[in-house]
Amino acid sequence: MNKMLAIAVGKRILKVRKSKKLSQDRLAILAKIDRSYIGRIERGEVNITLEILYKLSETLGCDPKELLP
Amino acid sequence: MNKMLAIAVGKRILKVRKSKKLSQDRLAILAKIDRSYIGRIERGEVNITLEILYKLSETLGCDPKELLP
């Protein structure tokens, strides 16, 4: 797994989430993604798919490209 | 699976690949991705991961964001 990529993407997701004052629980519910998976994504522990990237960006109200390093 | 997303990404990968005059075989070898998987990606049949997106964009010499709709 490309650990650096996963960590960089995770950090951006966490940053945007916090800027929107959303908790991980709230993001998980809104994006219909498992709460623990959100945590693993933000810690850079998983190599997410484009579908997950788009679900998150749509929920966060940002361009998916903003979440890419 | 978000079929529209997969198809849109596949079309962009195919377009960039052709602009670089690379065959699917050549792209597969250079990106170290299975040749048949490249075909499935370009036909929009799979939901690729960010890691695969970055491998392809690096091999194609383009920004990964260029491959996103």
- Model confidence pLDDT, tens digit, residues B24-68: 999 999 999 999 999 999 999 999 999 999 999 999 999 999 999
Average pLDDT over residues A27-44: 98
Grade residue B1 by pLDDT with cuts at 50, 70 and 90: confident
Average pLDDT taken over every residue of chain A: 97
Q: A21 Cβ partners below 8 Å, 6+ apart?
A: none
- Sequence-ordered alpha helix ranges (H) in B1-69: 3-19, 24-31, 35-42, 50-60
pLDDT score at A1 = 81
pLDDT score at B50 = 98
Q: B25 Cβ partners below 8 Å, 6+ apart?
A: B35
Mutation target to probe the A interface, by most A beta carbons within 10 A, among B50, B51, B63 is B50
Question: What architecture is the A3-62 domain classified under in CATH?
Answer: Orthogonal Bundle (1.10)
- Give the gap in angstroms from C-alpha A19 to the nearest C-alpha of chain B: 22
Q: How far apart are CA B59 and CA B5, in angstroms?
A: 21
Whether B50 and A53 lie within 8 Å, measured CB to CB: yes
Mutation target to probe the B interface, by most B beta carbons within 10 A, among A50, A55, A57, A59 is A50
**What digits encode the pLDDT tens for the residues A46-65?**
999 999 999 999 999 999 99
Give percent of chain A with pLDDT exceeding 70.
100
Cα within 13 Å of Cα(A45), Cβ side = 8
Q: A18 Cβ partners below 8 Å, 6+ apart?
A: none
Whether B47 and A49 lie within 8 Å, measured CB to CB: yes
Whether A48 and B49 lie within 8 Å, measured CB to CB: yes
